[in-house]
Amino acid sequence: MRRWLRDSAHLVRPALVLLAALAVFLVVRSAIIPKAFGQYGHYRPGALDLVRQHPIAYAGQETCLMCHEDEGKARAAGKHAHVACEACHGPLAQHTGDPTSYVPKLPVVADLCRRCHEQDAAKPKDFPQVQTAVHSGGAACNDCHKPHNPQL
């Protein structure tokens, strides 16, 4: 027995090295592992907050309508009733944040109308679409159609 111990004693050394490394790893791990990891699942719960903190660019039409009631009424009476304000006017959270200092530019009408209403075989058949070059003979869309209530 003693002889066996003497002959295999050196095996303790690599074992000790491994155990020491393991101990160091466990200590370091408990120090740097993110707090509360695993609270909701295998992830850092702080990630949810991080994503939620992203700034908002589009205010949403409910906010627009708080001031622009008249435009809202005109729109509600026509075919664009379900088209959001910012769908044409672009992201306006900055404007709703400080209405006087940030005044948005009015969109370029022709490009805007064409994007939705240019005739295209892949669009649903019942969707109002025209070949704009032929339809208006070069006139701007809002020469005849009022954007908020475009029906003629």
φ/ψ bin of 118: left (φ > 0), alpha (ψ from -120 to 50), beta (otherwise): beta
Instruction: State which of residues 23, 24, 27, 57 lies at the interface with another protein (CB under 8 A).
Output: 57
Instruction: State which of residues 32, 103, 108, 152 lies at the interface with another protein (CB under 8 A).
Output: 32
String marking each residue 8-27 x if it binds another protein according to CB under 8 A: xxxx-xx--xx--x---x--
- Output 109 or 116, the one with its CB closest to another protein: 116
Residues 95-99: contacts with CB under 8 Å, at least 24 apart: 95/59, 96/59, 96/63, 96/64, 99/67
Sign of the torsion angle spanned by Cα atoms 68, 62, 73, 84: positive
* Piece of 43-51, 70-78, 134-142, 143-151 that binds another protein (CB under 8 A): 43-51
Helices (H), the chain: 2-8, 12-32, 46-52, 61-67, 69-76, 85-89, 93-97, 109-117, 132-136
String marking each residue 76-115 x if it binds another protein according to CB under 8 A: ----x-xxx-xx--xx-x--xxxx---------------x
Task: Give the tokens for residue 53.
Answer: 């903190």
Counting every residue, how long is the chain? 152
By CB under 8 A, is residue 7 in contact with another protein?
yes
Enumerate binding residues for another protein (CB under 8 A). Answer: 3-4, 6-11, 13-14, 17-18, 21, 25, 29, 32-34, 37-38, 40-44, 46-58, 60-61, 63, 66-67, 80, 82-84, 86-87, 90-91, 93, 96-99, 115-116, 118-124, 127
